[in-house]
């Protein structure tokens, strides 16, 4: 059997999981790749931190050049996070004639066009299954298994940290801050969880799915995004009282007016697949015109699930399968004409609003008037007492269908009313 060398760059959480699989599951990997795979180099700038895998002596170094200059290295597995160093490592690996496997969604969302162009020019490939949905094979499903379909919509829970926080708040009635602290203690949330809870991470993944499923080239920063960081136990209780769960949902929906993209905390009806996604799990619901609705569910992060996807990509690359799909997909290519993206303000939806108000006689009328002025009809409105102050109350409004533009303008004006005490909490409502 032919022997090939592989270099791993980034020996952190995922890198050590990948190294363990390569060192312990050689025969299984060789059967898939039809080549004997030697993990020949592990490169990291941190040579001190102990990892949960023991490498053979001399494998770990901080010398990237040594790995890139070895002509027997066919694939570089790039598992450095962030965008700057990761971009430079990826470009250097491609320039050195290596195919690349990566799990880095931030890098692809920021530099996809440059990296994919470079790989195409050099006749190399980039595989990135682990960049979206961790262990869930969503890239292969959309990029290979569903190619007979026109994808109509994707509704996905793509961030396990947010899902853990929301489902814990739901199950235990806990406050947001307490659950974030618990998630950090259990290793589900980073010390600084901003990129997760403000929706950035899910939005970067949605930008990649939008390119893959719809050929849409969109800067992830241009996708409308709301996080879960403004939600409180009161919102979860209100949702439950109306038969909903709140989930951070990334949506891509192809309508006649173009592709609607957004990431937002969303009321999903109890009993629907997304409402049933618990803890750190992810789920991707895809509708294709031929296949109909399809659901993928699994662990979207973590060492072993992510390493599973990375090593599968490595096997596909070595077996020659990646080259076929990589060229067929033509991702982020100037030749690909994607669907037009619908302007944020036009995206339709129903909305949940929670307002913290100082009680006064005509508060309801004033709020209703502002909504009406912005073409937004109220479906239901409820007021509940504030347990800490009899002068204040919570107001919960469910709107009928309106647009993002209307609701944004209306909320901006409502927040300026003198009796409104804090920024409104807003969620989308999925029907």
Ligand X SMILES: NC(=O)c1ccc[n+]([C@@H]2O[C@H](COP(=O)([O-])OP(=O)(O)OC[C@H]3O[C@@H](n4cnc5c(N)ncnc54)[C@H](OP(=O)(O)O)[C@@H]3O)[C@@H](O)[C@H]2O)c1
Task: Write the DSSP string, 358-402.
Answer: E--TTHHHHHHHHHHHTT--EEEEEEEEETTEEEEEEEEEEE-SE
Are 62 and 43 in contact by the 8 Å Cβ rule? The answer is yes
Alpha carbon of 124 to those of 34, 102, 289, 334: distances in Å?
19, 14, 32, 18
Site string for ligand X, 26-45 (x = CB under 6 A): -----------------xxx
* Residues paired with residue 293 on neighbouring β-strands, in sequence order: 287
Is 205 one of the annotated active-site residues of the chain?
yes
Site string for ligand X, 401-420 (x = CB under 6 A): --------------------
- By CB under 6 A, tell whether 13 contacts ligand X: yes
CA dihedral 327, 331, 333, 339 (to 10 degrees): 130
Are 251 and 261 in contact by the 8 Å Cβ rule? The answer is yes
- By CB under 6 A, tell whether 302 contacts ligand X: yes
- By CB under 6 A, tell whether 46 contacts ligand X: yes
Q: Within positions 119 to 148, which residues make up the interface with ligand X, using CB under 6 A? A: 130, 134
- By CB under 6 A, tell whether 159 contacts ligand X: no
- By CB under 6 A, tell whether 284 contacts ligand X: no
Nearest to 87 by CA among 63, 112, 64, 123: 112
Site string for ligand X, 57-86 (x = CB under 6 A): ----------------------xxx---x-
| Catalytic-role residue among 5, 50, 105, 205 | 205
Min. distance of Cβ 114 from ligand X in angstroms? 17
Class of residue 83 by CB neighbours under 10 A (exposed 0-12, middle 13-18, buried 19+): middle
Instruction: Please report where in the chains the tokens 């879960």 appear, as a residue.
Output: 228
Residue of 104, 141, 266, 399 interacting with ligand X (CB under 6 A): 104
Residue of 6, 8, 10, 109 interacting with ligand X (CB under 6 A): 10
Min. distance of Cβ 204 from ligand X in angstroms? 9
- By CB under 6 A, tell whether 219 contacts ligand X: no
CA dihedral 137, 337, 122, 26 (to 10 degrees): 10
Q: How many residues bind ligand X (CB under 6 A)?
A: 23
d(CA 270, CA 293): 18
Active site residues: 205
Which residues contact ligand X (rule: CB under 6 A)? 9-15, 43-46, 79-81, 85, 103-105, 130, 134, 301-302, 306
């Amino acid at each position: 059997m032919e022997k090939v060398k592989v270099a791993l760059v980034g020996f952190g959480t995922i890198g050590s999981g990948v190294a363990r699989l390569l060192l312990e599951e050689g025969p299984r990997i060789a059967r898939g790749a039809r080549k004997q795979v030697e993990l020949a180099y592990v490169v990291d700038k941190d040579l001190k931190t102990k990892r949960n895998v023991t490498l053979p002596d001399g494998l770990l170094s901080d010398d990237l050049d040594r790995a890139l200059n070895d002509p027997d290295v066919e694939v570089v597995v790039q598992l450095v996070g962030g965008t700057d160093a990761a971009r430079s490592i990826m470009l250097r690996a491609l320039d050195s004639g290596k195919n690349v496997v990566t799990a880095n969604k931030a890098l692809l969302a920021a530099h996809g066009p440059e990296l994919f162009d470079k790989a195409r020019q050099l006749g190399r490939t980039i595989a990135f299954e682990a960049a979206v949905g961790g262990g869930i094979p969503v890239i292969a499903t959309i990029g290979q298994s569903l190619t007979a379909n026109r994808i109509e919509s994707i509704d996905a829970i793509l961030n396990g940290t947010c899902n853990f926080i929301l489902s814990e708040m739901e199950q235990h009635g806990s406050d947001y801050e307490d659950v974030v602290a618990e998630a950090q203690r259990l290793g589900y949330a980073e010390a600084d969880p901003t990129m997760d809870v403000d929706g950035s991470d899910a939005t970067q993944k949605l930008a990649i799915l939008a390119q893959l499923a719809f050929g849409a080239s969109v800067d992830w920063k241009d996708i409308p995004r709301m996080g879960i960081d403004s939600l409180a136990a009161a919102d979860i209780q209100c949702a439950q009282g109306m038969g909903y769960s709140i989930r951070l949902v990334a949506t891509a929906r192809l309508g006649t007016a173009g592709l609607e993209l957004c990431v937002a905390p969303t009321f999903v009806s109890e009993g629907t697949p997304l409402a049933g996604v618990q803890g750190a799990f992810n789920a991707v619901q895809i509708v294709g015109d031929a296949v109909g609705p399809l659901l993928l569910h699994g662990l979207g992060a973590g060492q072993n699930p992510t390493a599973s996807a990375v090593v599968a990509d490595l096997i596909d690359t070595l077996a020659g399968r990646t080259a076929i799909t990589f060229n067929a997909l033509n991702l982020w290519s100037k030749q690909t004409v994607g669907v037009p993206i619908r302007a944020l303000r036009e995206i339709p939806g129903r909305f949940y609003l929670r307002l913290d108000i100082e009680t006064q006689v005509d508060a309801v009328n004033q709020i209703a008037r502002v909504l009406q002025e912005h073409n937004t009809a109220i479906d239901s409105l409820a007021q509940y007492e504030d347990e800490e102050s009899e002068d204040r109350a919570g107001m919960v409004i469910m709107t009928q269908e309106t647009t993002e533009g209307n609701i944004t303008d209306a909320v901006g004006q409502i927040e300026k009313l003198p009796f409104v005490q804090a920024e409104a909490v807003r969620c989308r409502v999925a029907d």
